[in-house]
Structure 1
Amino acid sequence: MPKILKFTEALSLIAAVLAAALYSIFPLSMFLTLAITFGTISYHLLMRLIIGTALGSPAFIRPDYTKGRYKVRPWEHRVYKLLRVKRWKNKMPTYSPENFSPKLHSWEDIAVNMCCAERVHEVISALSFVPLIAHVWFGAFWVFLVTSLCGAALDLSFAVIQRYNRMKIAKIAFRRGARPH
């Protein structure tokens, strides 16, 4: 997954620069549309890579999965049932499956990694709306809004998966005698 994401980011960036260059030489709306499209895709992918690297490690701030905003609340069970998370959670890709492997990590470390992944996806969801600023120069507010909403919804679905799965992982960690830091 990391290779695919990085390759797609590089390809999008090259396509955006090429389309912008072509637009400066031949001012056709098609080249501007392509530059905006690939530029927006490039932003979304690059932002995800940067935020994932910056905030995805417990070394940044080690969250306590038993307290504060990371603690799963009893009412969330109803929300997950309403969203039918159990049906679609296994169909979503995982960027770093090794971070959630019980063969490589303790159950407590997996729960902490899930908190970090949740944090990453929440920040990415908020930053998905930055391209809305571009409507000032390019117009097409609704296009930028729809793509931002889709990007945010996708990342929030990953945050939901982390919280949903963490309920079970936290129980396992607690039974195994883990003491969160």
Structure 2
Amino acid sequence: MFDRLRDDVRTALAKDPAATSATEVVLTYPGLHAVWLYRLAHALWVRDHRLGARLLSHLGRLLTGVEIHPGATVGDRLFVDHGMGTVVGETADVGDDVLMYHGVTLGGASMRREKRHPTLEDGVTVGADATIIGPVTVGENATVGAGAVVVDDVPPGTTVVGNPARPVSEADGDIEESAAADRGPSPGDD
């Protein structure tokens, strides 16, 4: 257990250039506190102490501004930077070494009792205020840009941006075509 706690602190120090010491991270990082409270709530959840798990989860949200449902599955070394407004739904699966910024939503797209939240594979980075909806998969080492809205699977190693989210190369092409249209015809185009 203590190895895991130390691992979480090392992860915060490695992923946040503003972190100056382990003591600072332990005392002042709400994303870290949210993950620790989630782990306690999840332990209750899997032992069928659902009300206690939900109450602890609610307390975690109140104290940190981060809501991680105790039924979600979260891997090792999740780092939620700043955290405020982050929501991780009940059937979400979050892999190892994932970095999420504030305002991220891993939301559901169904009212049925089924897999309805996203899966983030190992090494994923999710930018501030990104929304990932439904049982989609964000592949290993992929990046979701700030403010993106993801409704389809993201291949491993891909960066997506926009609403709806598209791979950067496609988004760049659309931006270039849109900018060209805004400029009007080029000199010599008749």
TM-score normalised to structure 2 length: 0.27
As a proportion of its length, which structure holds more strand? 2
Higher relative contact order (CA 8 A, sep 6+): 1
TM-score normalised to structure 1 length: 0.28
As a proportion of its length, which structure holds more helix? 1
